[in-house]
Structure 1
């Protein structure tokens, strides 16, 4: 079940107990291991204000920002004041050719920084816009974020995060999958459609249409994956796809709900027929209630068949939410030790990778500086050589000057001809066609 953290305050007259529900333990968050890697010598020497200014100037002049520099900035953030700068650097990195070299620690550090210092709504918006920011969730960052959102009972944002994990199509972490299932179920079970605006207000707020001529129109295409924008539909697909990875009774019921809200009624009917043919399958009352609530004229025939099939199955009297909580707790008990060890090792590897990449960048920049200095010296030597051997090469130099003058004359003549032709141009007269 939920882990409960209690804070006891003993004032003069009474005791107040405040409980906070959370799935993940403090050990899972690896706070000490994360703090240790963010206090490495490379990161502690960074003055973020000066560092950001230098990166901004370099981007303005060269149009490039280094992936290792952004990683150092992301991991060195210790104050919420620098989150806007971090967001700006992530966007600049995404626009440059260096985006392919983004380090895994940059993604993880961004999520942890926003969880600790920032606005979680803004973090979710960044995650939902990979084209501009290029930040993706690893399993451990996803678990921390999902646990935080579930703890704060923000199930809509949690469902949005779960959909991002579904779109990545990697379901190898049991804790991540079960947290997604719980978040999607809580969002769907309490879903209320947004209030419709008054039609009169809509008419008053109509904007004048502006028509633009285009060369061609693209054929409409909907991939039924990345193009899904409706949060209810997206949550349904997430629940269906993730629950399909498991064969337990609770996941089977969640898969039914997923297909219901994903509006894949043909697949839902096939799954109902398959599950009811299995004697070990039991249906939750909540599943039937939610199906009945979704009955419409369009879906009445297919959903009616599903409901009649499920009514013949055995019923579970236990609350579905409690079963999902147990499923999450079992996943944590199975995977927690392994995930903690993996995170600690990952943080150590990131320190080594960061140091290696920084050394490689330093060597590369030194090499570029040396090449530039050699080229400048060569140009200076060529000028000195021309001065020293001017009288011996006077004829060659005169010929070079004449060739340059001839080229300039040709260009001027061409430009004059072009200008004159433009001035003399008379547009053709267009007469009406005879009928």
Structure 2
């Protein structure tokens, strides 16, 4: 009987654990699935045969080197099967290499990101987002929230921290839900970070042939401390610090401490510790002190002293009775309760607006192509009429035609004579004799 009870409790705990891990922060309504499906099911997009459409665009780029941002947007929104995601990537790359890249529509970004999330191609999506130079794809607040919520729910904190760092690079902190999710993702990645051990040096190194390349000049080394950050751990610290300094409260101050610590900005870390120590209403989370102690054992000696001073000051600050993770979850829930309805309305408005813009631009493009086609037909007709006129009035204008022929023959003969002179000069060229220097 006791074993049965224990098994039942064990199963209950397992059920609760799984339930908590699978629970999303965002509600199903936030994704506006119905409104989105209605937008991508418009008559315009339903008429598109994606295979034929892609082949047409590909041939157009190959022959004329031209691609339209509107055509790429129509393709991106018309995708309903994951087999076309590779073609979509190819079109984004071609658009990025053309002069039309500046006309890329907002709906193209949103649709592409939604499709990659829907078809579970998250790793590929993150790789595209990390390469804006070649693909030019950027997150908006809504796609960032949906993607972060999905990654956090799946406990993929490294990928979530990567997405949060991309949000930080865009420097747009207007959406409270985005900021809270980014803070949670970076915090979870930082506390679970395990520093990789350096590989053992190999005693016998293979001999490699030196290859010397002549270059015109050397660039001075430059590090902008923003886009040049490649270490995700440091980028997560900067993300946590920059987002947390937008609000001045106990939770954000604690997150700032973790951010400056991970970002390796000891001067800002010490300054913030002094402020918290002097402010009697400050509250410190035990997790922050634990992280300071953890880093104190791994940093260089010159930074170790400053970290020890920070630990000493923060030990005199009142400790929080609630865990930092629980406070972060509360922050996310408060942000969702505050602006979720507003975000849903904004998304629905955006979907309708994007559909109207697409139809307007398609009408403009159709008129422009018709105008160009009519102009081409007029030019071809003028050329035909000119040729017919020459045939009809040939005998009356025979003398003028003969003069034109003579002038063309004269120009041809002059050009041939110049080429012959140049060739003879090159053949008769004798290089100067180079004598040795006198001692």
TM-score by length of 1: 0.92
Q: 1:58 maps to which residue?
A: 60
Unmatched 5+ stretches in structure 2: 1-10
User: How far off is 1:417 after superposition?
Assistant: 3.8
Q: Which of residues 196, 199, 207 is equivalent to 2:198?
A: 196
Q: 2:251 maps to which residue?
A: 250
Q: 1:7 maps to which residue?
A: none
Q: Separation in 2 of the partners of 1:95 and 1:24?
A: 37
Unmatched 5+ stretches in structure 1: 1-13
Aligned in 2, Cα 1:159/1:373: closer, same or farther, shift over 3 Å? same
Q: 1:395 maps to which residue?
A: 399
Which range is displaced more, 422-431 or 302-311?
422-431
Question: What SS is found at the alignment partner of 2:23?
Answer: strand
Question: What SS is found at the alignment partner of 2:302?
Answer: coil
Q: Deviation digits for residues 98-117 of structure 1, max 9, x if unmatched?
A: 11111100000001000011
Correspondences of 1:176-187 after superposition (within 5 Å): 176-187=178-189
Q: 1:312 maps to which residue?
A: 316
Which range is displaced more, 255-264 or 178-187?
255-264
Which range is displaced more, 189-198 or 380-389?
189-198
Q: Which of residues 340, 346, 369 is equivalent to 2:350?
A: 346
Q: Deviation digits for residues 362-420 of structure 1, max 9, x if unmatched?
A: 11111110111111111111111211222232232223223322333333333334444
Residues 115 and 145 of structure 1 are in contact (CA less than 8 Å); yes or no, is this contact kept in structure 2? Answer: yes
Q: 1:81 maps to which residue?
A: 83
Q: 2:377 maps to which residue?
A: 373
Residue 361 of structure 2 is aligned to residue 357 of structure 1: yes
Q: 1:3 maps to which residue?
A: none
Q: Separation in 2 of the partners of 1:427 and 1:153?
A: 76
Q: 2:172 maps to which residue?
A: 170
Q: Separation in 2 of the partners of 1:210 and 1:319?
A: 56
Q: Which of residues 143, 147, 150 is equivalent to 2:149?
A: 147
Q: Deviation digits for residues 134-159 of structure 1, max 9, x if unmatched?
A: 11111000000111111111111111
Question: What SS is found at the alignment partner of 2:378?
Answer: helix
Residues 108 and 141 of structure 1 are in contact (CA less than 8 Å); yes or no, is this contact kept in structure 2? Answer: yes
Q: Deviation digits for residues 240-275 of structure 1, max 9, x if unmatched?
A: 111111122111111111111111111111121122
Residues 281 and 313 of structure 1 are in contact (CA less than 8 Å); yes or no, is this contact kept in structure 2? Answer: yes
Residues 80 and 118 of structure 1 are in contact (CA less than 8 Å); yes or no, is this contact kept in structure 2? Answer: no
User: How far off is 1:37 after superposition?
Assistant: 0.5
Q: 1:30 maps to which residue?
A: 32
Q: 1:105 maps to which residue?
A: 107
Q: Separation in 2 of the partners of 1:369 and 1:410?
A: 41
User: How far off is 1:434 after superposition?
Assistant: 6.6
Question: What SS is found at the alignment partner of 1:22?
Answer: coil
Q: Deviation digits for residues 123-174 of structure 1, max 9, x if unmatched?
A: 0010111111011111000000111111111111111111111111110000
User: How far off is 1:432 after superposition?
Assistant: 6.7
Residues 167 and 225 of structure 1 are in contact (CA less than 8 Å); yes or no, is this contact kept in structure 2? Answer: yes
User: How far off is 1:320 after superposition?
Assistant: 1.0
Q: Separation in 2 of the partners of 1:328 and 1:290?
A: 22
User: How far off is 1:232 after superposition?
Assistant: 1.2
Q: Deviation digits for residues 190-227 of structure 1, max 9, x if unmatched?
A: 111234334329944x7644322111222222111111
Q: 1:281 maps to which residue?
A: 282
Question: What SS is found at the alignment partner of 1:368?
Answer: helix
Which range is displaced more, 134-143 or 271-280?
271-280
Correspondences of 1:130-145 after superposition (within 5 Å): 130-145=132-147
Q: Separation in 1 of the partners of 2:427 and 2:231?
A: 57
Aligned in 2, Cα 1:162/1:431: closer, same or farther, shift over 3 Å? farther
Q: Separation in 2 of the partners of 1:67 and 1:212?
A: 40
Aligned in 2, Cα 1:117/1:426: closer, same or farther, shift over 3 Å? farther
Aligned in 2, Cα 1:47/1:317: closer, same or farther, shift over 3 Å? same
Residues 46 and 76 of structure 1 are in contact (CA less than 8 Å); yes or no, is this contact kept in structure 2? Answer: yes
Q: Separation in 2 of the partners of 1:80 and 1:230?
A: 32
Aligned in 2, Cα 1:110/1:399: closer, same or farther, shift over 3 Å? same
Q: Separation in 2 of the partners of 1:36 and 1:193?
A: 47
Question: What SS is found at the alignment partner of 1:199?
Answer: coil
Q: Which of residues 77, 96, 109 is equivalent to 1:94?
A: 96
Residues 83 and 118 of structure 1 are in contact (CA less than 8 Å); yes or no, is this contact kept in structure 2? Answer: no
Aligned-residue Cα RMSD (Å) equals 2.1
Q: Separation in 1 of the partners of 2:168 and 2:63?
A: 40
Q: Separation in 2 of the partners of 1:255 and 1:412?
A: 78
Aligned in 2, Cα 1:265/1:373: closer, same or farther, shift over 3 Å? same
User: How far off is 1:70 after superposition?
Assistant: 0.7
Q: Separation in 2 of the partners of 1:130 and 1:84?
A: 17
Q: Separation in 2 of the partners of 1:46 and 1:251?
A: 49
